[in-house]
């Protein structure tokens, strides 16, 4: 069976796919996983929609799109997962083919039953 881009043991169509299509993630980890898969599948609107409105202003759609498309996403590693905080490592190759590691410990918040990415405490 093909794994989802996020590394879960189920296909994209039964994992992050439906969440990106509009079925809300019900946990911070699922939201985080779906955001990673959104980078892989270039679902830029989803990345913007799942960012908390208070942080959306600073987002640059073109920049997010560039970042999603120029990198080759290889693997997502969940380091620890809590109710509102998920620490993860994203492995990818940059435009020069160099291996890169992105470490992040983002915070998520529930608002009006919507879970969104609030901000991150970047580890590196
Ligand atoms: Zn997934």
- Number of domain units in the chain: 1
Q: What value does the mean pLDDT take over residues 59-65? A: 93
**Is the residue at 3 inside a domain?**
no
**Is the residue at 5 inside a domain?**
no
For ligand 1, the distance from its centroid to the CA atom of residue 51, given in whole angstroms, is 18
**Is the residue at 57 inside a domain?**
yes
**Is the residue at 52 inside a domain?**
yes
Of 116 and 22, more confident = 22
For ligand 1, the distance from its centroid to the CA atom of residue 113, given in whole angstroms, is 21
61 has pLDDT over 80: yes
CB distance 6 to 34 below 8 Å: yes
**Is the residue at 6 inside a domain?**
no
**Is the residue at 74 inside a domain?**
yes
**C-alpha torsion 34→35→40→41, nearest 10:** 70
**Is the residue at 4 inside a domain?**
no
Coarse DSSP helix, strand, coil percentages of the chain, rounded to the nearest 5 percent: 35, 35, 35
Tell me: the pLDDT tens digits for 79-103?
998 888 888 899 999 999 999 998 8
Tell me: the pLDDT tens digits for 27-58?
889 999 999 999 999 999 999 988 888 888 88
* Angle 76-62-84 from CA coordinates, rounded to 5°: 40
The SS3 call for residue 54 is: helix
For ligand 1, the distance from its centroid to the CA atom of residue 76, given in whole angstroms, is 10
Question: Residue 85 sits in a domain of what CATH number?
Answer: 3.10.450.50
| Residue range(s) defining the domain that contains residue 17 | 12-122
């Amino acid at each position: 069976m093909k794994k989802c881009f996020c590394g879960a043991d189920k296909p994209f169509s039964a994992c992050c796919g439906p969440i990106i299509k509009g079925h809300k993630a019900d946990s911070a980890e699922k939201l985080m996983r779906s955001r990673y898969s959104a980078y892989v599948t270039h679902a830029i609107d989803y990345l913007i929609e799942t960012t908390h409105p208070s942080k959306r202003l600073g987002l640059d759609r073109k920049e997010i799109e560039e970042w999603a498309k120029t990198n080759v996403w290889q693997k997502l590693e969940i380091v620890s997962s809590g109710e509102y905080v998920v620490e993860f490592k994203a492995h990818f190759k940059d435009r020069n083919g160099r291996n890169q590691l992105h470490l992040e410990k983002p915070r998520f918040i529930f608002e009006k039953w919507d879970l969104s990415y609030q901000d991150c405490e970047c580890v590196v």
